[in-house]
Amino acid sequence: MFGFIKVCAVTPRIKVADVQFNKAQIIECIERAEGAQLVVFPELSLSGYTCGDLFNQSALISGVEEALSDICAATKNCGALVFVGAPIVYAQRLFNCAVAISKGRILGVVPKSYIPDYGEFYERRHFSSGLGIADEITLCGSTVPFGTDIVFRAENIPDFSVAAEICEDLWVPSNPSVRHAAAGANIIVNLSCSDEIVGKAEYRRELVRMQSAKLVCGYVYCDAGDGESTTDMAFAGHNLICENGSLLSESKLFENGAVCADIDVEMLASERRRMSAAYFAGEKAGDYRVVGFTACEGGELTREFSPTPFVPRSDEKLKERTELILSIQAAGLKKRMEHTGAKTAVIGVSGGLDSALALLVTRRVFDAMKRPAADIIAVTMPGFGTTGKTYNNSVKLINCLGATFKSVDITGSVLKHFEDIGHDRQILDVTYENAQARTRTLILMDIANKTGGLVIGTGDLSELALGWATYNGDHMSMYGVNCSVPKTLVRHLVAYEAANLGGETEEVLRDILATEISPELLPPDKSGNIAQKTEDIVGPYILHDFFLYYSVRRGFSPEKVRYIARRTFKDKFDEATIDKWLKNFYRRFFAQQFKRSCVPDGVKVGSVSLSPRGDWRMPSDASAALWLSALDD
């Protein structure tokens, strides 16, 4: 469903050279992997990898072919694509092969390309290289493709295409999987028997993960384990499933069994198209043979999605990643300040999250430039909707950071403007709101002119996506430090800086974090509290950032975004609420593109940017009908 393919890497317990025992174990594992659409077993799993000179025995080789026939017979009703490792004779030579089986028939045989010739069990003594072979072989009574030029492609699931390489093939400089990916394979399987020594697991994990990133593919690495001979080596069954640089699943060392994951081949295909390169499914595609098969329906999706995909994951690199984001923001602004020779930085500080982050980043810049914080002119501009809490927090934060405090009450100016344009101040409409936002921008721009400074924009990526900004009001600045930082990440960055700075600064930042998000353009309620709450109007930012990431960054269809959102937020929002805000997201995203088409410069910090000069190009009058109708269906 939606391009998710359930894959399993299975390490059965085997006995060296006991083909009948190994066959039974493999069949049992296939039966237990019900719901899997791709099942991979280790290298030479049918015979055992550590057979040594027993590979020269005709009894072993004929026994392997008989066992393959039995596996085919046992899997006639199994719709999974299965890869089994086996020694196969071709042209009077022996090859270390991956045998692909589906619905009771052998689809093709892929020989190992690179044969190691070191160690106690060096393979060159027994096996030949399959590099460059593109032929046919008769096996188990059928003539099937044999060679390293095969892609197995599901005829009923777009983008489910698989190719195989074997152990050493991954460790050499010129990997077969590079050619496989160029020929259109979205998933690479590796049947391996990798001995375990100190430090090798870490290297292997990174090798597999980075290969999946380099090839923009799913990579299923299946390793031999308990049952192989330990005469001189031990085998840990280190199974790994990666997707485009992410580790989806990993087995524990020295524990035979299966690891499973859902690989998103639809997403992988989208990523490859996004690269706008002729590499994938390009010139190599014509050199490959495509073997079709009918894939079974996958089992229940078990994959989980982070509800905050823009926020660094809580691991040992969390601090490092957060510091990097703030450093990128600061580096962009620092360069602009130096290039323009600006004497000051002018920021409108509202007591909200975005302006707090912009002020924190600007303070970092002035520290790096060894310039006094007093050259940061922080302006509060109270108006009709400003509450005591936000105003006081603005003042406290400005003083804590050592910036120059300036307060300009906009009430009189806006009332005069209403008089000039003939607007009734009792009508709390968009004119009432936007007149305040534009007045504030005018003030900031003129203060910057007066002091030889730059106006630092505070608007964030989530607001750009939704068009939640006043055109030529808070929409405009001279450099937008937050322009590619979504709201959920803004919150995280402010919390991080609060913990770093401590003391009174941390206290005021914590209070800002606890404040309702609001533009404060409408009067407070009777108790003096914020009445205009942004998330009541446009929807929860945690949902919108989720929608933004998977629709823009991943290119998911509206139906797929809805599907994973319902799964991810099932304990927080009901389906009707998710559907309501998802439709609102698409409506606003399309309708508000004209604002994004003319945004100020601002540095990109992550994988999503809506700058018309960078990652996102979209006509301002594009229609959302197709996306909205998909959700109606």
Residues 525 and 593 in one domain: yes
Quickly state the pLDDT bin for 324 (edges 50, 70, 90): very high
Residue with tokens 């020989």: 111
Average pLDDT, rounded, for the chain: 94
pLDDT digits (tens, 9 = 90+) for 204-229: 999 999 999 999 999 999 999 988 88
Are 400 and 252 within one domain?
A: no
Q: Is 300 a domain residue?
A: no
Residues 48 and 104 in one domain: yes
343, part of any domain: yes
Q: 341 and 277 in one domain?
A: no
Region 394-423: mean pLDDT is 97
pLDDT grade for 420, boundaries at 50, 70 and 90 = very high
Whether the pLDDT of residue 234 is over 80: the answer is yes
Domain span holding position 348: 318-632
Is 167 among the residues known to form the active site? yes
Residue 315 has pLDDT above 70, yes or no: no
CATH number at residue 121: 3.60.110.10
Q: How confident is the model at residue 279 (pLDDT cuts 50, 70, 90)?
A: low
pLDDT at 278 over 90: no
Q: What is the pLDDT of residues 71-119, one digit of tens each?
A: 999 999 988 999 999 999 999 999 999 999 999 999 999 999 999 876 5
**What is the predicted pLDDT for the residue at 230?**
85
pLDDT at 283: 53
DSSP per residue, 479-536: EETTTT--HHHHHHHHHHHHHHH-HHHHHHHHHHHTSPP----S---TTS-----HHH
Residues 408 and 459 in one domain: yes
In which element (H, E) is residue 441 found? helix 430-451
Pick the last residue of a domain from 259, 293, 327: 293
Residue 301 lies in a domain: no
In degrees, rounded to 5, the angle at the alpha carbon of residue 137 between the alpha carbons of residues 136 and 142 is 110
Q: What is the pLDDT of residues 99-110, one digit of tens each?
A: 999 999 999 999
How does pLDDT run across 381-390, given as a tens digit for each residue?
Answer: 999 999 999 9
Please say whether the beta carbons of 259 and 237 come within 8 A. Answer: no
User: Which region among 15-19, 136-140, 164-168, 319-323 has the lowest average model confidence (pLDDT)?
Assistant: 319-323
Query: What number is the average pLDDT over the span 515-540?
Result: 85
Do 204 and 340 fall within a single domain?
Answer: no
DSSP-derived 3-state class of residue 48: coil
Output b/e per residue, 446-477; b: 16+ Cβ within 10 A.
ebbeebebbbbbbbbbbbbbbbbbbeebbbbb
pLDDT of residue 527: 78
Q: Domain count for the chain, please give it.
A: 2
Q: Is residue 465 part of a domain?
A: yes
**One-character DSSP codes across 143-162:** EEEEES-EEEEESSSTT-EE
Asked if pLDDT for residue 323 goes beyond 70, the answer is yes
pLDDT of residue 121: 53
Q: Is residue 302 in some structural domain?
A: no
Of the residues 43, 250, 497, 520, which is catalytic? 43
Least confident of 46-50, 317-321, 413-417: 317-321
Give a yes or no: residue 299 inside a domain.
Answer: no
Tell me: do 284 and 375 sit in the same domain. no
Decide if 129 is inside a domain. Answer: yes
Q: In this model, does residue 632 exceed pLDDT 70?
A: yes
120 compared with 502, residue with greater pLDDT: 502
Instruction: Dig out the tokens for 95 from the structure.
Output: 């090859």
Statement to judge: residues 286 and 328 lie in one domain = no
Whether residue 376 sits in one domain with residue 283 = no
Q: In terms of domains, do 347 and 273 share one?
A: no
pLDDT above 90 (res 287): no
Which CATH number do you get for residue 597?
Answer: 3.40.50.620
The confidence score (pLDDT) of residue 524 equals: 84
Sheet holding 38-40, edge to edge: 134-139, 142-147, 105-111, 93-102, 81-90, 38-40, 4-11, 257-264
Find the catalytic residue in 103, 112, 284, 595: 112
Each residue's pLDDT tens digit, 182-206 = 999 999 999 999 888 899 999 999 9
pLDDT value for 519: 83
Q: Is residue 67 part of a domain?
A: yes
pLDDT of residue 318: 80
pLDDT at 314 > cutoff 70: no
Which residue among 8, 167, 260, 483 is the active-site one? Answer: 167
Q: pLDDT at residue 359 above 90?
A: yes
Q: How many helices (H) and strands (E) does the chain have?
A: 20, 20
Domain boundary among 293, 308, 339: 293
Is the pLDDT at 169 greater than 80, yes or no? yes
Domain boundary among 237, 259, 293: 293
Quick one: 263 and 133 in the same domain?
Answer: yes
Same domain, 148 and 191: yes
**Percent of the chain clearing pLDDT 70 (strictly above):** 97
Q: Is residue 285 predicted with pLDDT exceeding 70?
A: no
Q: How large is the average pLDDT for residues 293-313?
A: 91
**pLDDT-derived band of residue 397, with 50, 70 and 90 as boundaries?**
very high
Measured CA to CA, the distance from residue 257 to residue 81 in angstroms comes to: 18
